[in-house]
Amino acid sequence: MMLIDAVSSLRRCLTSWRRSGRSIALVPTMGNLHAGHLALVREARRVTDRTLVSIFVNPLQFGPNEDFGSYPRTLERDRKLLEAEGTDLLFTPPVQAVYPHGSQDQTRVEVPGLSNILCGASRPGHFAGMATVVCKLFNMAQPDIAIFGEKDYQQLLVIRRMVEDLCLPVEVRGLATVREPDGLAMSSRNGYLSPAERARAPALYRALCQAGERLREGLIAGEVERMGIEELLVEGLRPDYFSVRRASDLQPATTEDRDLVVLTAAYLGTARLIDNLRVSLRDMAIPATAATEGSENAN
């Protein structure tokens, strides 16, 4: 596995791969890798000739009171894991290489609408910071395919929209969330949980599964959301949101929508956990009285 931290060296290497007809997949990460990331790498290896993984803890996507400083940086361990997975190139640019004029003066990519709801409502500027760095990584590497986890469902839609709006020549693929045996979605932030909090954390996925069942039983979105919030509170989590949305664009779900996603974010100790569940109602009839009844806690 090659280790590169300069943009010019990255370009040289990728240009030679492209000239020899190799297809390239990019897996952007912030490091502290877990089985979810490694699944993305395996998928990258399956679908292209060369796999590039980036590790960059992006200051632009963290708010002033968030965990940029304490975000786990485990480069040596990550390097070994990626090597064992057969990664071809690990790109670890320093902040100065990504933001040579400083992160504050960086030109930004804003995806309006999608970026200001749900996680974007609680984390102002997060999605602009994320979209900016992903756009830069796409321009640095010019991969054929880029692969992201569906655990960050809103992030995936923001990236897809950015690619479409800016006509970026990259195919964005999402990969199913990898879960612990008790259902907790794998996340670098799970490491912030104390043993007692870790034991309570699967409540998030349980609440999502319950919500999926309730939607399939015909309950309306607002009621499903109210019950989800209650379940999280009972389990000792502090919900930020629990929301039933249209899967294609995250607009509040109406009774006519068949492809839904239930998304939630909740605090447990110092950790902010997110998760989501896709719910298909395609095999269910649209109620005759279908109203355009939105969800209660749309934000």
| Enzyme catalytic residues | 37
- The DSSP output letter for 185 is B
Q: Report the side by side order of strands in the sheet with 259-268.
A: 238-246, 259-268, 271-280
State the DSSP string of 233-295.
HHTT-EEEEEEEEETTT-PBPPTT--EEEEEEEEEETTEEEEEEEEEE-TTSPPPTT------
By CB under 6 A, residue 134 contacts ligand PAF: yes
Question: Which of 89, 98, 109, 130 lies at the binding interface for ligand PAF (CB under 6 A)?
Answer: 130
277 backbone dihedrals φ, ψ, rounded to 5°:
-140, 125
- Region binding ligand PAF by CB under 6 A among candidate stretches 116-124, 127-135, 248-256, 282-290: 127-135
Q: Where are the alpha helices (DSSP H) in 22-125?
A: 35-47, 75-84, 95-98, 119-122
Q: How many residues bind ligand PAF (CB under 6 A)?
A: 10
Q: Where are the alpha helices (DSSP H) in 99-220?
A: 119-122, 126-141, 153-165, 195-200, 203-216
> Checking DSSP bridges between strand 238-246 and strand 259-268, what pairing results, if any?
antiparallel
> Between 130 and 186, whose beta carbon lies closer to ligand PAF?
130
By CB under 6 A, residue 119 contacts ligand PAF: no
- Region binding ligand PAF by CB under 6 A among candidate stretches 65-73, 81-89, 126-134, 266-274: 126-134
Binding mask 35-74 for ligand PAF (x = CB under 6 A): -----------------------x--x-------------
> Between 138 and 205, whose beta carbon lies closer to ligand PAF?
138
**Overall size of the chain counted in residues:** 299
By CB under 6 A, residue 147 contacts ligand PAF: no
Distances (CA, A) of 178 to 174, 185, 215, 228, 255: 12, 6, 23, 22, 30
Separation CA 217–CA 238 (nearest Å): 27
By CB under 6 A, residue 28 contacts ligand PAF: yes
Q: How far apart are the first and last CA of the chain?
A: 44
By CB under 6 A, residue 133 contacts ligand PAF: yes
| Shortest spacing between CB 28 and ligand PAF, in angstroms | 4
Containing H/E element for 7?
helix 7-19
| Shortest spacing between CB 156 and ligand PAF, in angstroms | 9
> Between 134 and 250, whose beta carbon lies closer to ligand PAF?
134
By CB under 6 A, residue 30 contacts ligand PAF: yes
- Region binding ligand PAF by CB under 6 A among candidate stretches 25-33, 99-107, 165-173, 197-205: 25-33
By CB under 6 A, residue 115 contacts ligand PAF: no
**Which residues bind to ligand PAF, rule: CB under 6 A?**
28-30, 58, 61, 130, 133-134, 152, 155
